[in-house]
Amino acid sequence: MTTPLLTVRDLSVQFHGNRVASALNQVSFELGQDEVLGLLGESGSGKSVTLRTLLRLHPARSTRIQGEIRVGGQDVLALKGRALDLYRGGTVSMVFQEPGLAFDPVYTIGRQITEAIRAHESIDARSAAARALQMLEMVQIPQARRRFDAYPHELSGGMRQRAMIALALACKPKLLLADEPTTALDATVQIQILLLLRELQRETGMSVIFVTHDIGAAVEVADRIAVMYAGRIVEQQPVDRIVHTPRHPYTEGLLAATVGPEHRGQPLRAIPGSPPDLAALPPGCSFAPRCAYVSEQCRRDRPPLLAADDQALACWHPVRGLVEAA
């Protein structure tokens, strides 16, 4: 990996409400130019929080953010005012999980894309609209000209998600954050959207962070997978290796709990227990209460995230050691 496009170092996010919830705990990872990172983890593990922090979308007053985020050399956490607005949607943009909720319901699709383009470039309304229409054609929306003047509620879910992607890519971002872009769609449409995203990524050479709890989808589009648990990254490996040689017990559990052709004939096993309360995390490894390989050390000391080449692991008793996996 040459100089990474995105560097996240020791990123911690706490929400201060009635209780203090530590949604992210010292998350570190890097992402290269043209690379697709799959972010995997069960519900509540902090995937969306990670993406929202990258765009600084959390309410400033109730959120404490520590650590460092750099995108193309820019210190993201120090951005303010106009620079922050230009960064959002210009350098990094986002595709939301529920396209039905992510559009303003009272403006047409075309107007919203046009508006986003004009927020980033000094360009006249007509050329911006022309480009917005081009974007709709690029994401293969049938009858794009008609959809341009449609309101969000007039489109189907799949069509809306295509429009969302068109909007996200309209200002040629270097990094696209896709937060479970297919979860709200039905199965056939899911595959179409995944293929579209992969195709657009290859065409534009942008980097992508793809959040999902569907391992199949992650394998389809990602180069590398990072597994999150209770606000921490617990394991990272290139995609082709992680499915065959998971090293963290949690990853192994996730894979065992997945339905897929490669698991045909094997029993489907759910991970016992539930994720910990983020306001009262255990002192040691967060996964310890649910782990089959747990020891005294796991309950007492937090395992550090150790990185080697293209992989990383935070576990005292990995299913496979670094050497064995390499």
Partner 1 sequence: MFAYILKRLIYAIPIALSVTVVSFILVYLAPGDPLSAIAPADAPEEVIIALRSAYGLDQPVPVQYGLWLMRAVQGDLGLSIATGREVTSEVMRAVGNTLLLAGFAALIGVIAGCLFGALAGYRHGSWIDRIATALSVIGVSIPHYWLGLVLTILFSIWRPWFPAMGAGPGGSSEWLWDLEHFRYLVLPAVTLSVIPMGIITRTVRALVADMLGQEFVSALRARGLSGVAVFRHVAKNTAPTVLAVAGLQIGYLMGGSILVETVFAWPGTGFLLNTAIFQRDIPLLQGTILVLCMFFVVLNLLVDILQPMIDPRMGRA
Ligand X SMILES: Nc1ncnc2c1ncn2[C@@H]1O[C@H](COP(=O)(O)OP(=O)(O)OP(=O)(O)O)[C@@H](O)[C@H]1O
Nearest to 252 by CA among 209, 313, 305, 298: 313
For residue 7, what are the contacts with CB-CB under 8 A and spacing of at least 6?
30, 68, 69, 70
**DSSP 3-state of 150:** coil
**One residue of 15, 87, 210, 229 binding partner 1 per CB under 8 A:** 87
**CB of 38 vs Mg ion, minimal distance in Å:** 14
Q: Which of residues 33-52 bind partner 1 (CB under 8 A)?
A: 52
**One residue of 119, 123, 281, 322 binding partner 1 per CB under 8 A:** 119
Q: Is 237 near Mg ion (CB under 5 A)?
A: no
For partner 1, which is the closer residue by CB, 82 or 264?
82
Q: Is 85 near partner 1 (CB under 8 A)?
A: yes
Nearest to 258 by CA among 312, 311, 222, 219: 219
Q: Is 93 near partner 1 (CB under 8 A)?
A: yes
> Which range touches ligand X (CB under 6 A), out of 39-47, 140-148, 253-261, 288-296?
39-47
**One residue of 5, 8, 23, 239 binding ligand X per CB under 6 A:** 23
**DSSP 3-state of 10:** strand
> Which range touches partner 1 (CB under 8 A), out of 2-10, 111-119, 203-211, 216-224?
111-119
Rounded Cα distance, 151 and 27, in Å: 39
Q: Is 48 near Mg ion (CB under 5 A)?
A: yes
End-to-end CA distance of the chain: 18
Task: State the DSSP string of 217-248.
Answer: HHHHH-SEEEEEETTEEEEEEEHHHHTTS--S
| Helix (H), strand (E) at residue 70 | strand 63-71
> Which range touches partner 1 (CB under 8 A), out of 113-121, 125-133, 192-200, 210-218?
113-121
Q: Are strands 224-229 and 232-238 parallel, antiparallel or unpaired?
A: antiparallel
Positions that interact with Mg ion (CB under 5 A): 48
Positions that interact with partner 1 (CB under 8 A): 52, 55, 57, 82, 85-90, 93-94, 96, 98, 101-107, 115-116, 119-120, 151, 153, 167, 171
